[in-house]
Chain A
Amino acid sequence: MQRIEKQDQVALALLYARYGKTVYSLTFRVLQNATMAEEATQDTFLKVWKRAARWDAEKGMLSSWLLTVARHTAIDRLRQEQRQTVPGMASLEDSMPVASPQMDEFAIRDGQLLHSMLRQLPPDQAHAIELAFFEGLTHTELAARLKLPLGTVKARIRTGLQKLRAHWQEMMEQEN
């Protein structure tokens, strides 16, 4: 990242080689459109190129920071398409786990494990969680989108996330 801060294109290419696919996968998940996902991926790396100094190694993993930028960029793009504004986008950035950059490989593996766990939830819960997270929707927005009562949406998300946490803890205990 220090080399990218000094506008070293080779370093940027290496960063892309390592995370390009992960970033593109996330933007594609949010946008569900190859052309827009390509633009959002390019915009993500351009933001990193211009703002590399903003990454704080003490605060979190490089991949989490990069993917947080990618998620915001993709959701911004989605909202532009939908002519909406983006509310409350800072919360996840504040919640990045503290870990070393070497933990990136584990984070990618954990992400795929979580993906499998999501698939094991009741479909309505998994759908609500993924739609809200990947499209940056609040409870109220999600209720409007799904045409469901607000209480139903809150309950689906809360129950689904509680199950995810329980499954994750169970898996960690088994690994230990």
Chain B
Amino acid sequence: MSDYDRPTGNLSAADCEILDALLPAFAFGLLDENEKQQVEKLLPNCPDRASELADYQALAGKMLHSATPVEPPPDLLLRLLQATAPTASANSDNITLLPKPESRRQTSRFNPGVLAGIAAALVLVVLTGWIFFQTAQLSRTVEAQETLLSLFATDQVVSFELTDPSDTPTNARAVLKCNAGQKVAVLHAEAFPVSADEEFEVWLWLDQVTKISGGFLEIDPAGSGTLIFEAPEVMGTYQYVSITPIPAAGETVKPVVRGSLYPTLPEQQG
């Protein structure tokens, strides 16, 4: 019988010391079943080992992020989107368009031929509408896929961090992902100020005085929002980006976040 297999009826400091030997491997999920059970029995009686266990569990979590970075093939996203794309037949099993023949026969007071014609016409109308709806949905999906693929299909996508430039910065931040040679960009904002009717505008700066709107950013109640937009020029044209509340006419508003893009220039207001 090994030390680890001893009965646990009389717990002592020695029993807790057994934990010291087993805790690291326990946190990493490396113990055999009997050892794992042993640890689970001993743990509640050794509360002073809790922080040690937490340390090892945190290290195990970090191990997940420790693999050497390897670039996935560019078409993996395409395969993923194809695998998750809605199909026209996906919901067809749930659609019942025709009444059951048995009940129709029992309740009908009309000529069966006329009824069948009306039913067929109704089916045609419903089916046509459904096909249009599905086609529109698929078109939107394909459009979104193409937009994103044009951005992510190369290895030249760069992330830019946008942060609060004020003297007393908030946690508001945003990440802009774009490719210098493409017009499409994806912006994701977090921890933005939330109010009932506040919207935000994304500004792309060509130089120190000329800015154009990249679009409006909707923020959810948690302060997060995502915007996919197409700029008038390729993203490499712009020198930095800022996000502000939507200004009233003639009003100057301070940016919630701001960050430099490809060429780094002196910081600007708004």
Distance of B42 from chain A, by nearest CB (Å)? 16
The answer to whether A62 has its CB under 8 Å from any CB of chain B is: no
Say if the beta carbon of B121 comes within 8 Å of chain A. no
A67:B65 contact, CB within 8 angstroms = yes
Residues of A within 8 A of B67 (CB): 22, 25-26, 28-29, 111, 115, 134
Residue interface bits B52-80, CB-to-A below 8 A is 1, else 0? 00011111111111111111110011011
Q: Does B144 make an interface contact (CB < 8 A)?
A: yes
A24 x B72 contact (CB < 8 A):
yes
Which chain B residue has the least Cβ–Cβ distance from A49? B84
Compute how far the CA of A137 lies from the CA of B71 in the bound complex, rounded to whole angstroms. Answer: 26
Residue B25 interfacial (CB < 8 Å)? yes
Distance from A70 Cβ to chain B, minimum over Cβ atoms (Å): 8
- Inter-subunit contact A17/B84 (CB<8 Å): no
Contacts of B32 in A (CB 8 A): 138-140
- Contacts A10-B148, A26-B64; A92 near B55 (Cβ below 8 A): no
Interface: A64 (CB within 8 A): yes
Contacts A49-B84, A92-B29, A133-B30; A38 near B73 (Cβ below 8 A): yes
* Residue contact A96 to B29, C-beta cutoff 8 Å: no
Chain A residues lying within 8 Å of B73, measured Cβ to Cβ, are: 34, 38
Chain B contact-residue range equals 35 or more
Which of A37, A95, A108, A133 is in CB contact (< 8 Å) with B57? A95
Give the interface of B toward A (CB within 8 A).
21, 24-33, 35-36, 55-73, 76-77, 79-81, 83-86, 141, 144-145, 148, 152, 157, 171, 177, 186, 188, 190-191, 226, 228
7 closest Cβ pairs, A-B complex: A111-B65, A161-B24, A24-B72, A29-B67, A91-B29, A95-B57, A67-B64
A residues with CB within 8 A of B: 7, 9-14, 16-17, 20-22, 24-26, 28-29, 34, 37-38, 41-42, 45-46, 49, 60-61, 63-64, 67-68, 71, 87-89, 91-92, 95-97, 102, 107-108, 110-115, 118, 129, 132-134, 136-140, 142, 154, 157-158, 161-162, 164-165, 168-169
